[in-house]
Every structure is written in structure tokens, then in C-alpha cells.
Amino acid sequence: MLRRNFLATSTGALLAQPRRKPNFVVILADDLGYGELGFQGRSDFATPHLDSIANSGVRFTNGYVSAPFCCPSRAGLMTGRYQTRFGHEMNVVGKRNLDPNIGLPSTERTMANHFQEAGYRTGLIGKWHLGGHPMNRGFDEFYGFLHEGHFYYPPPYRGAVTRLRENEPPYDDDNPLMRGRNVVEEKSYLTDALGREASSFIERNGEKPFFLYLAFNAIHSPMQAPVALMNEFEGLRGEQRRLFAAMTRSMDNATGRVLETLRTRGLEQDTLVFFLSDNGGPTAELTSSNAPLRGGKGQLYEGGIRVPFACQWKGRIAAGRVSHETVSALDLLPTAMSAAGLTLPTNFDGVNLMPHLGYSAKPVERKSLFWRYGQNLAMRKGQWKVVKQRSNDFQLFDLASDPAETTDLAVLRADMKKQLLAELEATNREMAAPLWV
């Protein structure tokens, strides 16, 4: 049963209930570093459409994902639960994607499952990377690919500048582009095509509530961009950085197309939009900067798990606000379900952000955040974080004064380290063993 849901204004008045159930759009970048994008302070190239989400809504400076790699991070996002609770702990690459025993367990319900059951039209455009097929996990429509990566143009990459790493994985092997369950051929640059398909989904489904998950593979390797876009960045130093800028610009343009479709269809005030990255950037591989944070993709230092994170809901949440509250990709599902007036399951690890997004901006009710990836462990509670990366001992950082994690306070504040480790160890005991290693 739906329950009434109001947002408080700064004067204490109440905004009326939306005229219909709200739509939800989740836009996910792949391997985008914390220090990129205009709304994060980057100035060497513009990202106006992505910036507009932050400018029209709320930018989170302490926005996290639940893992430092693609596959487990997406499992947490899709379920609102620590993926380590159900064994989806390790990443999946290459031919392991074809193993039917690897992927999101069938016992877990996805964001799409929840909204499909509530009468929403559900669509995934882009990258899945959770095993099996997304149309078996609550999605009515799918256009994209199933595994961890994909070339942006088919060989021989006509009209593109391509920079391949030595021994670049054969991303497209056994990983075709699909519409629904049927293999298709795509001639457009893939990021442009995903923007086109996401806009088409909105056009076709805008008369009733919808959930759209637009999961770009940009700016994940291989580095590949149209020549015409590359030419716009001749002032940047080095082909690798120009490629990164062109790939990011294409993602920004595709996002702009989606936002324009919402505007032209009169759906902005009916649609809550979230944007974030799935993990931190692999700087050496892509130039994707995590500045001023330490580390990057694959690590539980801040650069691997703190990401660009923003949302908008025109006319429903405050615009141009910067929040320093600790939020997580785990929060998207309970927040969206609450905004839709749906009853929340009791097993979510994420929290409902709607009271914080309202004009009264109430504090986020969160005790702590936990991470485990193999032998690597971390927990953040308030301003404090303990982290064990690889063979290192647990380190303690005060993120309020030291977001770059430069000064280990484990000895100086042994009391705080002991307190956090006790909670981390108790949480860790609740988690399941990895289903694969």
C-alpha cells in the first residue's frame, strides 16, 4: 500500500504530493575518478550536463560505493545491501563471466524487481556485469552488454582514435550487444548509442512511472573516442588525456540528451535523478584523477571507494546544495522506494535519504559504513576510518582533517582504533564467505 510522502520546505510548509508516482533514473559512470567533472572542481575540460545535476540538486562530497571494483559495487547498488552479505564479494573478468555459477545470487532482489512489482516500467541501458541476464532480474527492457567491458566501435574502429593497453582483454568475445535477448549490431559510438536508447526508453514509457538504469561503460578501457571529439581537445597534453576527455565529453553529451528528454516531456518534476561512479579511477590506465584522495580503483583507500555523487529532483529537493553527510550507493534503493511511498524491507543496509534531501536537510541517520574485499577491510564511522589494505596493519585516519589519508593516527588514537575495530569485526562476522575467489 502506498503511503503519503511530503517534503518540508524551509518555511515549514509542505510540498504537495507529486501528481503521480515519481520516476527514477540512475546514471552510473564506469571508473570515473573523484577528481574529475566540473562539479568536482575539474577545469581542464567542461562537463556541463553532468554538472547541471549537481547544480539543480545536491552534490555529496562524501559519497561512497560499497566496493572498489565494478561487479561487487553494482551488486550493492542493485540490492541496497552489502554484497558481502550474500557472497558477491569478488570481481568477475574475462571468461569467468560465462560461468553460470558466478553472479548475483537468485535469492537477492534487485532495484528493478522492487519497482517492477510496484507497477513501474523498468529498463537497463548499458553494462550489466552481474551474471545471467538482467531481464531475469526485474528489467522489462535491456539494451547493452552482459560482461565487464566493451569496445566503443566494432573493429576496425573506423572514425575512432584507439589506445589499447598491451594484452588488452578481448572484451567483445562472447559478449555481444543485445536488445532484449537478441544480438544486435551497433554502428554508432557506443556511448552515443546508450544515450539514444535511454532517451527512447523515456519517450516510450513516460506516460507511466518508470525506473531507468543507464549504466555507461565510459570511461572504462579500452580508450576509444571519435576523431571529431578528439579534435576538440587539442589543447590538452598527451593523447591519453585527450582520449579521456573525449570519452567523458561523450558521456556528458549522452547525459544531456536524457535530461533534455525529461524536460521536453515535462517529466523533470516527476523524476529523481542520481549520478555516481561505480568506483574510483585507475589513474595510470585512464588518467582518471581521484585528487585529492589517496589510491584508486581496487583499493579501500578513499580514492577507490569515494566517488562523484549527485542527485536532482526539480522542484522537490533543494537546488545547488553541497552536502558533507556520508552517503552510499546502498542508499539509492531505500531512498527511491521511500519517495515512491513503498514499504521498505528491513534487510537493507542503505538508508533513506529523503529527509536529508528535503529543504529541511535533516542529518543522515547512519551509524557507519563497512567494506570488505578479499583480505582488505575498512570501516568509516563519522569522521574516523580504519582501513587494512593488503598486508598492511590497520591504519586510522581522521577524514575531516585528512581526507587524503596521509597521517596514520593508529598509535596516537589507539582508543578510537580499538572502538572502530570492535564494530568492524562484529559487522564482518555477519558477512558470508565469498561465493568465488
Q: Which of 129, 147, 150, 220 is catalytic?
A: 129
- With residue 340 as reference, give the H or E element that holds it: none
Neighbouring C-beta atoms of residue 226, cutoff 10 Å: 21
Task: Give the residue carrying C-alpha cell 509542505.
Answer: 14
CA–CA distance, 251 with 217 (Å, rounded to integer)? 9
Q: Most distant CA pair in the chain: distance in Å? A: 60
Q: Is the dihedral of CA 193, 148, 307, 292 positive or negative?
A: negative
Beta strands in 290-426 (DSSP E): 309-312, 321-328, 369-373, 376-381, 384-388, 395-398
CA–CA distance, 198 with 177 (Å, rounded to integer)? 15
Annotated active-site residue 311? The verdict is no
Q: Is the dihedral of CA 172, 257, 205, 79 positive or negative?
A: positive
Pairing of strands 160-163, 223-226: antiparallel
3-class DSSP string for 140-151: CEEEEECCCCCC
**Residue 63: exposure state from Cβ atoms within 10 A (0-12, 13-18, ≥19):** buried
Q: Is the dihedral of CA 341, 342, 346, 352 positive or negative?
A: negative
- With residue 123 as reference, give the H or E element that holds it: strand 121-127
Q: Which of 49, 70, 220, 311 is catalytic?
A: 70
Give, in degrees to the nearest 5, the angle at Cα 308 between 408 and 274: 135
CA–CA distance, 418 with 390 (Å, rounded to integer)? 20
Annotated active-site residue 70? The verdict is yes
Structural contact between residues 4 and 17, judged by C-beta atoms closer than 8 angstroms: yes
Helix pair angle (332-339, 70-79), 10° resolution: 30
Neighbouring C-beta atoms of residue 263, cutoff 10 Å: 11
From residue 1, give the alpha-carbon distance in Å to each of 209, 313, 343, 344, 361: 16, 23, 8, 11, 27
Give catalytic residue positions.
Answer: 70, 129
